[in-house]
Copies of this chain bind each other. A is one copy, B any other.
Amino acid sequence: MTKISEISEFDLIARLEAVLEQNVTPNTKSKIQVAIGDDAAVIGNLGNLQVVTTDAMVDKVHFVSNEVDMRNLGWKSLAVNYSDIASMGCEPVYSVVTLGLRADILVEQLENLYLGFSDLLNTYGGELVGGDIVKSDTFFISITVVGSTDKPETMKRKTAVPGDVIAVTGALGCSNAGLRLLLNGELKKSSHFYEAHYLPKPRIPEGISLLDMGIKTGMDISDGFLNDLKKICVASSVNATINIDSIPVHEELKLSFPDNFKEMAVSGGEDYELLITGHESLIKYISDSTKMDLHIVGEIEIGSGHVNAVDNSGTQISITTGGWDHFTEN
């Protein structure tokens, strides 16, 4: 017998996936193109694709219910799902929300949560069409979002090829700065880092444009740039080398964290920028011809799933990624 705290999240998912593979009779009429293993599952026929993603936020794990602004929580819990839709190059169509509620939660708190949902829906489109409310000793919010595209393929993780460059859609590390300040009791409301941590902007229009203009490989940066880049490398069976000095970083991050900003940018997590790969000429063309702020930060090489980092002088850099993993106790 194995406690889930004794294996990695990756291994846990692999074992559960194996149960389905070994026990479920394959559906010969399946329309599922990508199931477990990307930001979202892809369903449908050529030219009419649907993607689905689900993400939950749990009290005392992802937020503290007595302290969090519920309107921010509504925004963020829906935004992290929208970010997965953005990473596939799709537009959000509809969402369902399940709330697990303690009996002492206030109706007004939940109304504020729904105001946060409303803010996000008004900004990025899509509709909240239903959900479920259940009693729970632990307050949680579980959201599923369905998106769509009329393109023949979505962006994916597994399509990076040697020769591609790696780019990101914006500065990294500021959400992590917000978290660090929050934990020290120093996060000022409405500051840049507060907004970065609580009100991330899912890159919906950017994702749609990138797919439209021919980018095939993309994901969103939720677990930290290096961790997420490694997922692309593993899915595509390639290596990546990044130049840590080319990672875009906000001036305020450099000023506030002069000794740590590079590490925070590559391993902080919850940036919700898009991480893409593609021909350098295409990425430069998109950057020049749209308002998108694409930053080339490295390149894809022949390999088997490794990420290397160098600095401007070409020196190899060793970075602790923070080893994001949900359950392993260390």
Contacts and interface: CB of A to CB of B under 8 A. Distances in A.
Given A106-B3, A107-B15, A117-B20, A130 B98 contact: no
Nearest to A118: B23
Nearest to A40: B130
Nearest to A130: B41
Given A20-B128, A54-B130, A96-B52, A107 B3 contact: yes
B9 A133 contact: yes
Nearest to A138: B138
A320 interface: no
A31 B93 contact: yes
Nearest to A123: B25
A136 interface: yes
A2 interface: yes
Interface in A86-117: 93-94, 96-98, 100-101, 103-108, 110-111, 114-115, 117
A25 to B, nearest CB: 5
Interface string A262-278: 00000000000000000
Interface stretch (A57-65, A160-168, A181-189, A305-313): A57-65
B144 A54 contact: yes
A140 B136 contact: yes
Interface string A118-160: 1101100101111111111110101010100000000000000
A288 interface: no
B130 A35 contact: yes
A47 B195 CA distance: 44
A41 to B, nearest CB: 4
Nearest to A11: B107
Contact of A118 (B2, B20, B110): B20
A286 interface: no
Number of copies of this chain that the complex holds: 2
Contacts of A27: 125, 127
Contact of A104 (B5, B19, B110): B5
Interface in A1-57: 1-5, 7, 9, 12-13, 15-16, 19-20, 23-25, 27, 30-32, 35-36, 40-41, 43, 52-57
A100 B133 CA distance: 16
A279 to B, nearest CB: 30
A324 interface: no
B103 A36 contact: no
27 contacts: A1-B108, A2-B106, A4-B101, A7-B107, A12-B107, A12-B133, A16-B110, A19-B115, A20-B118, A24-B121, A24-B128, A25-B122, A35-B130, A36-B129, A41-B94, A43-B93, A52-B94, A54-B98, A54-B130, A54-B131, A59-B137, A100-B142, A101-B327, A103-B327, A103-B329, A132-B142, A136-B138
A254 interface: no
A284 interface: no
